[in-house]
Structure 1
């Protein structure tokens, strides 16, 4: 068990719109080591501060954009007597898009925010020093978001989503340029972790009838279990249990409509050892019992 607090996204002000933006200074920063379930993007507006993550210390300066992925312990600290202003954006993927499908296709952003922190050795944090023209664009976007968040006029959530999407697109494009300067070894490691993640999903889709456990699938994905489940929310919009249930129920629907197998046999074929559990899960996903589904789809 970790000995530092882990903040859940439900602690954000609006559970239906899990988003928050704050200005951090030496007086308002969180000085304790912590982690959170949501994604955090931070941008240094001015000055310099220290950042600790996974036991290593980094210096952040004006123009740095960096990501704090879910469940990564970290801590901010002042740099001697230097002052700083940092914009901190906290959000869950569905705050941007309910399904997040569109954003999940932005592979460079996903690599920057979720994948690279797992694999980088020399520079753990995916920090990018933005060039001056990009700094101006990012600062303008952040100021618009800050204003919308503060005033909360009609339509402010939609306005924030629009600006946040722009920010993520810029982040992805900038990371593409940034990654071109990285070593071939590091690029290969990022690709390896990404491929392992998708291979784990493919295994779930093909071997859903097996007794699959989150811990085992996370090993295939080269991720910690909690992180793997969170990544599934990003890419597929479902947690591990939700995705596995969805795959199994889809397979059972095909068997109910296309075979003469009885419900108990079908439940066993798709990975359910208890018929009562299968019936409950099936009705939760489809709104009807397996028997009623078969009557209407035979």
Structure 2
């Protein structure tokens, strides 16, 4: 177990609308190492401060945008006697519902927000210095989000979702430009981690009949188990267990429709050692038992 707290999103965010925006400064910054289940995006409005993430120290200044993905240890600290103002947004993907499904397929945003900050090398700094035009656009959106959050008038959630989506799209576009200027080694490292994740998912989809364990799949993805499960929820909409079950049940449905194998044989072929577990899982996913599904096939 880590020696720092890891906050579940329900401890700090409302479950119905898991979103929060705050203004951070030297008086209210979190100086203690911690991590959290949700995604955090921060933008430096003015001044400068220090940020520790994954064991590395970074200097943040006006115009810097940086991401803290789930389960990443981090903390803030003062830089000499200098003041700063930082906008901090905390949210879970389902705060903006299905709109995030499209954003999750935006490769550059996923690289910036979820993958690059995990690679703690000095040439892979988990921040972007936005150009002046992008700063103005981002600051306008953040000020609108702050105003909606403070007033909470009718429709404020819809307004926040719209501004937040625009903010995230800008972050992804800016990262694409940012990545083009990075050294080749930096791009290769991010690409390697992204491809490792997709390779692990592909392995699950083709080796579902094996006794697969979260720890082994996470190792293939070059991620911690909890983070790999979180990434699956982001990209596939399901946790590790949910996604593996869905893949197995889909394969069993195809076998029920296309072969004369009995239910016990099919259960074994899709990775279930106990027929009772297979029957329960199948009904949970389809609403019917395997036998009823086969009897009502076309």
User: Can you list the C-alpha shifts for 1:166-224, whole angstroms capped at 9, x where unaligned?
Assistant: 01110011111111111111111111111111111111111100000011111111111
1:287-298 → structure 2 map (5 Å cutoff): 287-298=287-298
Structure 1 stretch displaced more, 96-105 or 255-264: 96-105
The answer on whether the counterparts of 2:44 and 2:85 sit within 8 Å (CA) in structure 1 is yes
C-alpha distance in structure 2 between counterparts of 1:231 and 1:99, whole Å: 17
State the alpha-carbon separation in 2 of the partners of residues 187 and 8 from structure 1.
Answer: 31
Equivalent residue number for residue 6 of structure 2: 6
Q: CA RMSD in A?
A: 1.3
State the SS of the aligned residue for 2:27. coil
Partner of 1:109: 109
Equivalent pairs counted in the alignment come to: 298
Supply the distance in 1 between the matched residues of 2:257 and 2:133 (Cα, whole angstroms).
58
Q: TM-score, normalised by structure 1?
A: 0.97
User: SS state of the match for residue 296, structure 2?
Assistant: helix
Distance change in 2, residues 1:124/1:76 (3 Å): farther
Aligned to 2:68: 68
1: CA distance between counterparts of 2:152 and 2:254? 47
Query: Is the 8 Å Cα contact of residues 100 and 237 (structure 1) preserved in structure 2?
Result: no
1:54 maps to which residue?
54
* Aligned partner of residue 67 in structure 1, secondary structure: strand
1:38 deviates by 0.8
Deviation at 1:123, TM superposition (A): 4.2
Q: 1:180 maps to which residue?
A: 180
Q: Where does the alignment leave 5 or more consecutive residues of structure 2 unmatched? A: none
TM-score, normalisation: structure 2: 0.97
Please report how far the alpha carbon of residue 16 of structure 1 lies from its aligned counterpart in structure 2 after TM superposition.
Answer: 2.4
d(CA) in 2 for partners of 1:243, 1:296: 25
Unaligned runs of 5+ in 1: none
Distance of 1:51 and 1:191 partners within structure 2: 25
1:234 Cα deviation from its structure 2 partner? 1.0
Q: CA deviation at 1:154?
A: 1.6
Match of 1:27 in 2: 27
Q: Which residue is 2:194 aligned to?
A: 194
